[in-house]
Amino acid sequence: MRRRHLLVGLAALALHARGAWAGAYDDFFTAIHRDDADGINALLRRGFDPNTVDPKGRTGLLLALQLESFHAFGALLKARGIKVELRNPQGESPLMIAAIKGYMDVARALIERDADVNKTGWTPLHYAASGTGPGQPAMIALLLENHAYIDAGSPNGSTPLMMAAQYGTRDSVKLLLDEGADPSLKNQLGLTAADFALRAQRQDVADAIAAAVRRRQPDRGKW
């Protein structure tokens, strides 16, 4: 009888714990939406896992960036056991999101926590090159300073220069060319960066890339 009472008591405690953590789960993501660093810190002190994902497979770090909840992001980044390379179902890391949005301070903080600058497939540099904000060249420079591979190939062979040519800023294109991006490379569809620019009806960008190709070609036996 005593053993049965003990087992019943333990089961009740387990159910209570599950219910408590279910409430904590909701509180965690509510705190991120509200940019409530204190609420997040309180949950972390109770042992809540900072790498918990929401129903869409997004970690708190990723969701905080998407919502621009920077206080919540800062609290999570300081959490013991935080994993900055956990990605969403689309394969995007927090550094990739920071790169395309031009969040310089966030990118620096992530890199200091060993975020992968040269992840396989689409890289943070591809995302930085695709961004349209005025600060994107600075983001590209930051990644290059931290050894980002300038001609990284995406799964279909597209390079950061190609992304900048079609989607990014003209200053981003210029910076990548000045830093040595190869304008003659082709992706798996046979498209060059100039072709990407022409698809976006950016003739001036295509002309600048074509000029860079000519500068790299031998001229009477000399480079």
Q: Does residue 7 surpass a pLDDT of 70? A: no
- Which residue, 146, 149, 177, 148, is CA-closest to 161? 177
Where do the structural domains in the chain lie, given as residue ranges? 7-83, 92-217
Class of CATH domain 92-217: mainly alpha
Within 10 angstroms of residue 121's Cβ, the number of other Cβ atoms is 11
For residues 8-26, average pLDDT? 52
Q: Any idea which architecture 7-83 has in CATH? A: Alpha Horseshoe (1.25)
Q: Does residue 151 surpass a pLDDT of 70? A: yes
Cα(61)–Cα(40) distance, integer angstroms:
12
Residue 100: both structure tokens together: 């395309």
Distance between first and last Cα of the chain: 91
- pLDDT classification of 21: cutoffs 50, 70, 90: low
- Given this chain, do its domains 7-83 and 92-217 carry the same CATH topology? yes
Contact criterion met (CB below 8 Å) for 46 and 11: no
- Which residue, 4, 51, 44, 1, is CA-closest to 24? 44
Looking up tokens 């031998």 gives 218
Query: Would you state the pLDDT for residue 36?
Result: 98
User: What digits encode the pLDDT tens for the residues 71-127?
Assistant: 999 999 999 999 999 999 999 999 999 999 999 999 999 999 999 999 999 999 999
Query: Would you state the pLDDT for residue 217?
Result: 82
Residue 223: both structure tokens together: 């480079």
Q: Does residue 138 surpass a pLDDT of 80? A: yes
Q: Is 107 helix (H, G, I), strand (E, B) or coil?
A: helix
